[in-house]
């Protein structure tokens, strides 16, 4: 994938500014002229519109510091880390669950995803008009854009609950479109929209095997089925989870768990969808993702945020190979021969964010594997167990445990297997941006945070606050989440 920066007019529809009056002002400042359309009226031009969506995931606000704060530092898997006096702007209040409606990470994540959605809507608006591009390519690109839009709305609904559904480019000056942008839909409506996009994507996308080597980062049919299964998991539509997991074919778990999080493990047999750091000299990767989580202090190479908690350390069973692949311990030698000296400030760091060759670079060679086949197996196990098919669920759970160097589960009853699956998700997917949301959806959050002496307020902390600036601009069309 080539990182490109299309002319400003392509992405001018959403203008996010610091003042409340313009917070979600979507007046289209420039339109795409006939001449501009002709410029992109070819295969390469059509592809650029969707490549620009993928490039959004490399952005600091989309996938880096703020997202790390919301999805990981808030969870019981991680502590703020860094130096005691370095708050990381708001990482201290995220860690303590004491954030408010002006929280910068909640605001930047909200803005970034809507910027990405705008790119999707731009692509969906212009690609059908590019009649000189190959029709099959156009159909696939539209499928990719719908998958990526669904992915972003899934992030939004997990974080904020119901949000505005912006499903097309707004017409400048249109009151109805402005109301559309400023009016929150219910969570159920957002989930229905996500499912619609994914079903349309499934009809258009090829299997992973159909892509060339240089297109491996693009969304596939398997990725859409896996995401649809996960969307069903969050809604507890158990049979749909199973049905969609069964359609994720052509993948297998790798034998070496640690290999997945190294540069050599990109797009392995287990990878279904990952955010791709590409190129060389320099690598184009996620801005600050490795740097902000790298070891801090004398002999270190980063800012030291998002450090593994003692609670996570304690969650691993003896002999579990995933512990060593997930957690960097002060004083150890890493896979590339780097010694982590005892002079670094924090006792532990996130190994899955470690970049070997680019430890001091702002953009690194680390990918984020957002969908893996191991999760598909765990989702299927959870759904089968919830439907009372516990004996059918256990082999999938054991497949994950055995890969980790562990014996078969001793759990037999539905309740015990449920707990075992939840525990397995934690240690299998630590630092992969799921733990906080897993705690919420399974009802474990209050008890889990009490272990660390933190107060999870039920009826409030399940969701992050909608940015106050947006609520102010909405002028009564949208209401804040409870407790903020």
Name all domains of the chain by residue range, CATH numbers in brackets.
8-220+463-474 (1.25.40.390), 235-272+373-428 (no CATH), 289-359 (no CATH)
Q: What is the mean pLDDT of residues 397-419?
A: 98
> Per-residue pLDDT for 484 more than 80?
yes
The predicted structure's pLDDT at residue 32: 55
> Per-residue pLDDT for 124 more than 90?
yes
> Per-residue pLDDT for 35 more than 70?
no
Cα–Cα dist 439/265, whole Å: 28
432 close to 451: Cβ distance less than 8 angstroms: no
Q: What is the mean pLDDT of residues 410-414?
A: 98
> Per-residue pLDDT for 25 more than 50?
no
Q: Could you give the C-alpha distances from 243 to 150, 173, 209, 305, in angstroms and in order? A: 19, 44, 21, 39
Nearest Cα to 75, choosing from 482, 481, 456, 460? 456
Nearest Cα to 381, choosing from 252, 238, 234? 238
Pairing of strands 305-308, 78-81: antiparallel
pLDDT-wise least confident of 27-41, 277-291, 337-351, 464-478: 27-41
The predicted structure's pLDDT at residue 7: 25
Three-state DSSP at 300 gives coil
Q: What is the mean pLDDT of residues 192-199?
A: 98
How much of the chain exceeds pLDDT 90, in percent?
88
The predicted structure's pLDDT at residue 23: 37
Residue 17: how many CB atoms within 10 A of its CB? 11
Give the DSSP letter of residue 344.
B
Cα–Cα dist 144/124, whole Å: 10
pLDDT-wise least confident of 36-45, 294-303, 403-412: 36-45
> What confidence category does residue 283 fall into, taking pLDDT thresholds of 50, 70 and 90?
confident
Mean pLDDT over the full length of the chain:
92
> Per-residue pLDDT for 18 more than 70?
no
> What is the distance, to the nearest Å, from the Cα of residue 364 to the centroid of all Cα atoms in its chain?
18
Q: In this predicted model, what pLDDT tens digit does every residue of 318-351 receive, in sequence order?
A: 999 999 999 999 999 999 999 999 999 999 999 9
> What confidence category does residue 26 fall into, taking pLDDT thresholds of 50, 70 and 90?
very low
> What confidence category does residue 82 fall into, taking pLDDT thresholds of 50, 70 and 90?
very high
Cα–Cα dist 34/466, whole Å: 38
Q: What is the mean pLDDT of residues 220-230?
A: 98
CA pseudo-torsion sign 398, 391, 445, 432: positive
Q: What beta strand segments (E) does 276-319 contain?
A: 305-308
> Per-residue pLDDT for 4 more than 80?
no
R_g of the chain, CA atoms, integer Å: 22
Cα–Cα dist 295/324, whole Å: 16
Give the angle 411-412-418 at the CA atoms, nearest 5°.
65
> What is the greatest pairwise CA distance in the chain?
67
Name the token pair of 58.
């490399």
How much of the chain exceeds pLDDT 70, in percent?
92
> Per-residue pLDDT for 19 more than 50?
no
188 close to 211: Cβ distance less than 8 angstroms: no
The predicted structure's pLDDT at residue 36: 66
> Per-residue pLDDT for 16 more than 70?
no
> Per-residue pLDDT for 34 more than 80?
no
> Per-residue pLDDT for 382 more than 70?
yes
pTM comes to: 0.93
Q: What is the mean pLDDT of residues 439-456?
A: 96
Give the DSSP letter of residue 284.
B
């Amino acid at each position: 994938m080539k990182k490109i920066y299309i002319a400003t007019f392509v992405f001018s529809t959403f203008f996010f500014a610091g003042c409340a009056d313009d917070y979600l002002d979507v007046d289209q400042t420039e339109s795409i002229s006939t001449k501009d359309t002709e410029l992109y009226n070819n295969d390469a031009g059509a592809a650029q519109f969707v490549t620009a969506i993928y490039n959004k995931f490399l952005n600091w606000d989309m996938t880096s510091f703020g997202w790390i704060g919301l999805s990981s530092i808030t969870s019981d898997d991680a502590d703020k880390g860094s130096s005691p006096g370095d708050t990381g702007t708001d990482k201290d209040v995220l860690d303590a669950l004491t954030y408010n409606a002006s929280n910068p990470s909640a605001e930047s994540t909200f803005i970034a995803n809507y910027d990405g959605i705008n790119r999707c809507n731009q692509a969906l608006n212009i690609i059908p008009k590019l009649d000189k591009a190959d029709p099959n390519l156009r159909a696939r690109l539209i499928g990719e854009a719908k998958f990526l839009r669904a992915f972003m709305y899934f992030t939004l609904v997990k974080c904020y609950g119901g949000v505005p559904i912006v499903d097309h480019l707004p017409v400048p000056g249109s009151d109805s479109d402005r109301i559309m942008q400023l009016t929150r839909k219910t969570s159920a409506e957002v989930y229905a929209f996500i499912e619609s996009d994914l079903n349309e994507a499934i009809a258009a996308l090829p299997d992973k095997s159909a892509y060339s080597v240089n297109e491996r980062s693009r969304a596939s049919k398997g990725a859409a089925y896996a995401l649809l299964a996960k969307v069903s998991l969050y809604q507890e539509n158990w049979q749909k989870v199973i049905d969609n997991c069964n359609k994720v074919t052509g993948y297998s778990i790798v034998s070496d768990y640690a290999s997945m999080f190294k540069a050599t493990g990109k797009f392995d047999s287990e990878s279904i969808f990952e955010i791709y750091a590409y190129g060389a000299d320099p690598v184009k990767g996620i801005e600050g993702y490795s740097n902000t989580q790298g070891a801090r202090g004398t002999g270190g190479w980063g800012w030291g945020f998002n450090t593994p908690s003692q609670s996570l350390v304690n969650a691993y069973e003896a002999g579990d190979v995933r512990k060593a692949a997930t957690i960097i311990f002060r004083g150890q030698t890493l896979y590339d021969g780097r010694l982590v000296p005892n002079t670094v400030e924090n006792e532990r760091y996130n190994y899955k964010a470690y970049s070997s060759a680019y430890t001091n670079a702002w953009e690194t060679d680390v990918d984020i594997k957002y969908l893996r086949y191991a999760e598909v197996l765990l989702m299927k196990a959870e759904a089968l167990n919830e439907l009372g098919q516990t004996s059918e669920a256990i082999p999938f759970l054991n497949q994950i445990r055995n890969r980790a160097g562990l014996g078969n589960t001793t759990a037999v009853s539905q309740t015990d297997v449920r707990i075992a699956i939840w525990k397995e998700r934690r240690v299998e997917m630590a630092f992969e941006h799921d733990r906080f949301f897993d705690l919420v959806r399974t009802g474990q959050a209050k008890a889990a945070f009490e272990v660390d002496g933190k107060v999870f307020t039920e009826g409030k902390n399940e969701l992050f606050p909608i940015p106050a600036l947006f609520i102010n601009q909405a002028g009564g069309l949208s209401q804040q989440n409870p407790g903020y």
